[in-house]
Chain A
Amino acid sequence: MRYLFFASFVTLIIFTGCQSIKPPHLVSVSDQKSAETHLPTANCLLPTVNCPLPTPFSALTFDKALFKAALNIGEHHLTGLVFIKKMPDSGFLMPDSAIERVETHPTWLNSYRVVFSNEFGMTYFDIEIGTNYFKVNYCFEPLNKKMLWKIMKTDFRLLFASEEASEPSKHYVQDESNFLVYKSKQGELKRWDLFTSSGDTLVEIRGNSNIADQALITFTGYQNKFPLRITLVNSIIRLQFSLSLLSIN
């Protein structure tokens, strides 16, 4: 009986944990012709010299942004403000695969400082992230858990360090939504970027390195080419970090 319970538990973990972060209903496209068959309105589905990759979040033009924020982890609920500041080039090591792309996207050289504080101004965490660089400058003790930060590091790398990613290895069109989907590798992470069919608006980033750090980041309500709402979700640990834009420079 005890073994049956254990087997059921393992099966549950396997089934829930192995639920892939890969976007559903993807149709692989290998050339522009097959792309046009699936999505006739797409101007350029496969990146070429005349048809560059869509802009990732980290290449959007902004120096600093202030968000209203809510972090839910299981039953725990924290609210406050998130301040993101693009830092000048800190000379972080660039991966070879990114060098060529950096020349066409100079903003990718930047690193970011992300500070989350409560409404009274007390800091929950203060992190710095750049290409191949991640540092927790400060973390409020109850949040200072190694496992939590391993997972949140994946979230922040997907969001801010897209220059670590390789050129997309596969291209897809998602049925029904007609989103363009690019699959790439970002270090040990598998990464999917989903753009609208016109290819100019980032809708989702999905990625993970293992079962525990499966991340889904959604971008909604664009205004002046910047998302008004960004939501980071790690379903395995029931983490949701919601950011609503207050101001941007």
Chain B
Amino acid sequence: MFRLITILLLFSFHIAGAQHKSLDVGSIQQIKQGVALAATKIATISSDFTQEKEMSILNDKIITRGRFYFKKDRFLRWEYIHPFSYVIALRGDMISIQNEGEVKSFNTNSNRVFAEVNRIIIGSVNGTLLDDASFTADYDQSNGHYIVSLTPVSATLKENLDKIIIYFAKTDYTVNKLEMFESAGDFTRITFSKKQLNQPIPDEVFILR
């Protein structure tokens, strides 16, 4: 009975929250082309980000803030500024981490979590994630966003990740928001703000010493 009530409650919340409009095949194709076209035009992105981790049951959030840099093709820098200092820089398959003044570098292939997170971030910037065989995609839209919900196919990925929802801005097809829902019930939302496109970013930004 309790289970039935829970399912009904979840279902009613789902209906209440479903303000998005479903898309037809033509519109989906248009989104894919829009994201792919934007990816060819965007050489660099820099922005602020706010990351909120919501923990199930605890009714609490961990909020972190920082700067994000992307440079074509596979240069990425996550810089956490508040409440702690921590930098992850990616150059191709090499990843460097600056933590408490110490820099460690390793190959992304040696760390499954980093490999997946970076594939997701870079894949959503250049649009390749929408056709990634590791996920099935559902498309929706709201007033300002095209919303793509990605559900992992592989059992290994499903152990940790329930789904990822990417919010593409309708104006320029760049990512405004990313939500990662964990299998355990927790979820993390990353919101990008003060985005700057195609401003020069020196390669040194992606090198940690």
Whether A121 and B51, one on each chain, are in contact in the complex, defined by CB atoms closer than 8 angstroms, is yes
Say yes or no: A123-B80 contact (C-beta < 8 A), given A113-B58, A115-B55, A141-B159: no
Instruction: Give Cα A225 to B188, complex, Å.
Output: 32
What's the least CB distance linking B81 to chain A, in Å? Answer: 12
Q: Is A85 an interface residue (CB 8 A)?
A: yes
Q: Which of B78, B86, B180, B185 contacts A122 (CB 8 A)?
A: B180
The binding surface of chain A is classed by DSSP as: strand
Cα separation A246 to B85 with both chains bound (whole Å): 11
Given the known interface contacts A118-B113, A137-B184, the answer about A85 and B60 at a Cβ–Cβ threshold of 8 Å is yes
Q: How far is the CB of B119 from chain A (nearest CB, A)?
A: 13
Q: Which residues of chain A are near B186, meaning CB under 8 Å?
A: 115, 117, 121, 123, 126
CA–CA, A249 and B75, complex, Å: 38
Expressed in whole angstroms, the Cα–Cα distance for A70 and B99 within the complex equals: 10
Bound: A122/B118 CA distance, A: 13
Taking the closest CB of chain A, its distance from the CB of B55, in whole angstroms, is 6
Bound Cα distance A121, B188 (Å): 6
- Say how far A116's CB is from chain B's closest CB, in angstroms: 11
Q: Which of B103-143 contact A (CB under 8 A)?
A: 104, 113, 117
Nearest Cβ on chain A to B22's Cβ, whole angstroms: 28
Task: List the A residue with the shortest CB-CB distance to B51.
Answer: A121
Question: A141 — which chain B residues lie within 8 A by C-beta?
Answer: 159-160
Q: Are B58 and A122 in contact (CB under 8 A)?
A: no
Closest CB of chain B to A169's CB: distance in Å?
A: 37
CA distance A79 to B86 in the complex (A): 10
**B101: shortest Cβ distance to chain A, in Å?**
13
CB <8 Å contact, A247 and B86: no
Contacts A115-B58, A118-B113, A141-B159 given; does A123 touch B182 at CB 8 Å = yes
- Rounded to whole Å, the gap between the CB of A200 and the closest CB of chain B is 28
A83→B62 contact, CB < 8 A? yes
Q: Within 8 Å of chain A (Cβ to Cβ): is B53?
A: yes
Chain A contacts for B159, CB-based, 8 A: 141
A66-B83, A85-B60 are contacts. A126–B88 as well, Cβ < 8 Å?
Answer: no
Query: Do A140 and B55 contact each other (CB < 8 Å), given the known contacts A85-B60, A122-B188?
Result: no
Q: Which residues of A from 63 to 120 have beta carbons under 8 Å from B?
A: 64, 66, 68, 70, 77, 79, 81, 83, 85, 113, 115, 117-120
Residues of A within 8 A of B183 (CB): 138
How many interface residues does chain A have, given as a range?
20 to 34
Please encode chain B, from 91 to 107, with 1 for each CB lying within 8 Å of some chain A CB and 0 for all others.
Answer: 00000010100001000
Judge whether B83 and A117 touch: CB under 8 Å. Answer: no
Within the complex, the shortest CB–CB distance from A145 to chain B, in Å, comes to: 15
- In the complex, chain A residues whose CB is within 8 Å of the CB of B161: 122
Chain B 172-195 interface residues, beta-carbon cutoff 8 Å to A: 180, 182-186, 188
Choice from B58, B88, B180 contacting A119 with Cβ under 8 Å: B88
Chain A residues, Cβ within 8 Å of B53 = 117, 121
Q: Which residues of A are at the interface with B, using a C-beta cutoff of 8 A? A: 64, 66, 68, 70, 77, 79, 81, 83, 85, 113, 115, 117-123, 126, 137-138, 140-141, 246-247
| A–B pairs, 20, beta carbons within 8 Å | A79-B86, A83-B60, A83-B62, A85-B60, A115-B186, A119-B80, A120-B117, A120-B180, A121-B53, A121-B62, A121-B188, A122-B161, A122-B182, A123-B186, A126-B55, A126-B186, A138-B183, A138-B185, A141-B159, A141-B160
Top 5 closest pairs, chain A to chain B, by CB: A121-B188, A138-B184, A121-B53, A246-B83, A68-B84
Q: A81-B62, A83-B55 are in contact. List 15 more A-B contacts (CB 8 A).
A: A66-B62, A79-B99, A85-B58, A113-B57, A115-B55, A115-B58, A117-B53, A117-B186, A120-B113, A120-B117, A120-B180, A122-B161, A122-B180, A138-B185, A246-B83
